[in-house]
Amino acid sequence: MNNLPTITKNLLIINVLCFFATLVARKYGIDLMNLFGLHFFLASDFNPIQLLTYMFLHAGFGHIFFNMFAVWMFGRVVEQVWGPKRFLFYYLFCGVGAGLIQELVWYIYYVVELSHYGVVSTPGGTILMGDFLNLLTTIGASGAVYAILLAFGMLFPNSPLFIFPLPFPIKAKWIVMGYVVLELFLGLRGSDGIAHFAHLGGMLFGLLLILYWRKKNGGQRLYY
């Protein structure tokens, strides 16, 4: 941990601390995911601060492990290139952007497309649309993580990476493009409990920010 860049190290520490805080709080009847997870903006439990806090909460060990592994693997490289201030701003900006895209998708699908039905069918039965909208919650750093992957792919497009279980390396740019196609396919296929459009939202906001920075720097690739 001592050789990790400052922001990457602190993001790992904060996320792990928040994960264990969630487990401890649950034993005392406090649901931190409900308080700080991102609710639908028309729901009674929504608070604007959730657009920031939701990305530090995770649903289980596998969820936080894979997100933090990606932060460690790619985040430290991007931070070393950009520096701590730019990297931190990018991480938070893309995380908030991912949350905004998820809110937009919820609004389009549940309010614009399905609101005339008045009810929603769930595995537990049919419930009123208004009650269902109050249940919508997103947590996790995945939106920001996908943005980090995008940044790595744009900084080092030809860097070879191994993706389990493939026995051969793939260039970073193709991995990024592959994830875009996969997340779009899974998002359009239907709900599986994963916020695929939040992942895409993080990458979209990351792309826009990187292009903006490049324009300000005369087209340079943001090496510092």
Cis peptide before 48 (omega within 30 of 0): no
222 in a domain, yes or no?
no
Domain count across the chain: 1
Place of tokens 């390396």: 169
* pLDDT tens figures, 20-34: 999 999 999 999 999
Domain that residue 82 falls in: 6-216
Q: What is the pLDDT of residues 135-177, one digit of tens each?
A: 789 999 999 999 999 999 999 999 998 877 778 889 999 999 9
- Of the candidates 49, 26, 22, which has an alpha carbon nearest to the alpha carbon of residue 38? 49
Phi/psi of residue 126, each to 5°?
Answer: -90, 130
Let me know if residue 1 belongs to a domain: no
What is the C-alpha separation between 51 and 150, in angstroms, rounded? 21
Would you state the pLDDT for residue 193?
78
Structural domain contains residue 181:
yes
Determine how many CB atoms are found less than 10 A away from the CB of residue 221: 13
Q: Work out the number of other CB atoms within 10 angstroms of the CB of residue 165.
A: 5
Question: Are the beta carbons of 39 and 82 closer than 8 angstroms?
Answer: no
Q: What is the pLDDT of residues 72-114, one digit of tens each?
A: 999 999 999 999 999 999 999 999 999 999 999 988 877 766 6
Q: What is the pTM of this model?
A: 0.89
* pLDDT in the model for residue 140: 96
Q: Who has greater pLDDT, 23 or 219?
A: 23
- The CATH number of whichever domain residue 95 belongs to comes to 1.20.1540.10
Q: Is the pLDDT of residue 188 over 90?
A: no
Tell whether 204 is covered by a domain. Answer: yes
Establish if 90 belongs to a structural domain: yes
* Terminal Cα-to-Cα distance of the chain (whole angstroms): 23
**CA–CA distance, 221 with 224 (Å, rounded to integer):** 9
Rounded CA separation 47/36 (Å): 8
